[in-house]
Each structure stands twice: as C-alpha cells, then as structure tokens.
Amino acid sequence: MNGPIRVLLADDHALLREGVRMILESQPDIVVVGEAATGREAIQEAQILHPDVVLMDLTMPEGGGIEATQKIKQDLPNTQVLVLTMHDTQEYFFRVLQAGASGYVVKGAQKSDLLSAIRAVASGGVYLFPTVAKRLVGDYLRQAHQGEGAEPVEKLTEREQEVLRLFVDGMTGREIAEHLFLSPATVDRHRANIMAKLGLHSRAELIKYALQRGLIQMDS
C-alpha cells in the first residue's frame, strides 16, 4: 500500500471516537480521514472519502453497522470494514462477516490488537479477535467430543489445508505464496479448489468452516 492507511471512524459515541483517533494518529502509517455518528453518515462519508478501512460500530442510529457494512461493500469493494463492538457472540460474529466485514474487534481490546487488526484488513487479510475465535473453536471441540462435529476436512489435500489455515489466519494470497514458496497463481488455484471441494461460496462461509473445525492458528 502506498501512503498511510486511511481510516474512517463510525461510532455514535464522540468520546470513543476521540480516544480511538488519538490512538490511530499516534501511528506513522495510519491517518483518520473522517468520522461518522450514524449508519447513514458512515455510508455517506465512505462514498465521499473512499477510505482504506472503516472502523465500524454495530449499534448506531439511522441504520446499524451491519446494514452500513453491506452498503459500503456493495458500493466500495476495495474499502475494508473492521467492526469494533461490545458484542462478542457467534451470532454477531458471523453476521458481520456475511455482511462483508474483514475483521471483528471487541471494545476493550488492547491498543496493539486494534492496530494489528487495522493493518491486517488494510492489506487484504482477515482479523479474528482471539477471544471470539477461541470461543468458537471451543464450541466445535465440545461438539466433536459429543459426536456432533461436522464432516472432517480429509477431502482437502495437505497443501490445501495449509493454504486454508494461512488464509484464515489473515494472510493475503501474495503473503501465502511467499510463505510457501509458491506462485500467486498456484495459491489462487488452491483456494478455488478448497471452495469447490467444501461447497463454499464466500469468505464468511470459509472462515466459519475453518473455525468450526479448529483450523485457526491462535496464540496460546
């Protein structure tokens, strides 16, 4: 990416926006280009400013964050949406991913988590907040122990499973190619094969599949 990451803040709490702005603008590679206090304003400002990342609250007046995310991704596919919310349940997690968001950070996260998330989604990756990911994987492991887990991933080759893990960990196709010493075209082919074999049609479905089967690489 050329130049700093351009961020639009969307939250109905002015004090929170001010605090987040101070955190972000202390970084040499991030600049806040605008603010919005409602879902409608978030859409309007995004259409005017074309930010790299929209930091989106879920519960705002005049259209919530999920509706705003859907509209922004529809109009500006190159703008990434990172949700910053107090909600940390599976329901909200998968709804925002299905809407087109590239990441999910819980309010109260460490400053380093927020900065890592912004940089990850700005570079085309996906950011999964650790506590949410661990809860989802824990649910899957409980189901598997009780014999309720979904079908295994043996249908994927070893290389495809490796690509899947790296993709869900937030790496871009180019980063995966460099990490595995493959060409970008080969990584794209592996990803297409993964989607076809698993019968998936979107990044949200792919992430959900990987989470449910404990394929996420997480910090201990």
- Domain 5-128 falls in which CATH fold? Rossmann fold (3.40.50)
Give the fold, CATH level 3, of 148-212: Arc Repressor Mutant, subunit A (1.10.10)
pTM for this predicted structure: 0.66
Bridge partner list, 34: 8
Angle among Cα 218, 196, 174 to the nearest 5 degrees reads 50
pLDDT of residue 140: 47
Average pLDDT over every residue of 8-26? 94
- 53-56 and 80-85 strand pairing: parallel
Domain boundaries, the chain: 5-128, 148-212
For 20-72, the pLDDT digits (tens) are 999 999 999 999 999 999 999 999 999 999 999 999 998 888 888 899 999 99
Report for 47-61, 99-113, 177-191: range of highest mean pLDDT: 47-61
Virtual CA dihedral for 57, 58, 64, 65, nearest 10 degrees? 70
Work out the average pLDDT over 149-155. 55
**Distance from the first to the final alpha carbon of the chain:** 31
User: For residue 167, what pLDDT band results from cuts at 50, 70 and 90?
Assistant: confident
